[in-house]
Amino acid sequence: MIVHALRLTPHQDLLLELEEFARRHQLSAACILTCVGSLRRASLRFADRSEANTLDGRFEIISLTGTFAEDGGHYHIGLADGEGMAMGGHLLPGCLIYTTAEIVLVELPELRFLRQPDPATGYDELAIIPNHKGVL
């Protein structure tokens, strides 16, 4: 495993920055270890819904989890509002940083994550492939 850490700053898009980090570092497989920070806008897809929900306000990031690679990823985020009410869902583009996002992720060079269509779910799902010495 290789550990990476990054810090996002105000107005950056959380999902787009994670995707750019994966491309820039040519990550074949990675996962989020931890993330703390805040958003000023959240764009989520709630469970069993097809449409995005955009929420403006101030939200604490209480959880971020996901598997990803330079080809794409699958992330879930948990947020709390100013009253301490929690919500969460699929992370979508449009989650804009309010103050910061401090992220630690783990690269798994012995694996390759791909997203492949799954007829049972109708979604592109995770395919895990051994990655021996960087060669498939």
pLDDT in tens, the chain (136 residues): 999 999 999 999 999 999 999 999 999 999 999 999 999 999 999 998 989 999 999 999 999 999 999 989 999 999 999 999 999 999 999 999 999 999 999 999 999 999 999 999 988 999 999 986 554 4
Q: Where along the chain do its domains lie?
A: 2-130
Distances (CA, A) of 136 to 71, 73, 79, 88, 118: 15, 19, 38, 35, 21
The pTM score is 0.90
Neighbours of 70 (CB within 10 A): 19
Topology (CATH) of 2-130: 60s Ribosomal Protein L30; Chain: A; (3.30.1330)
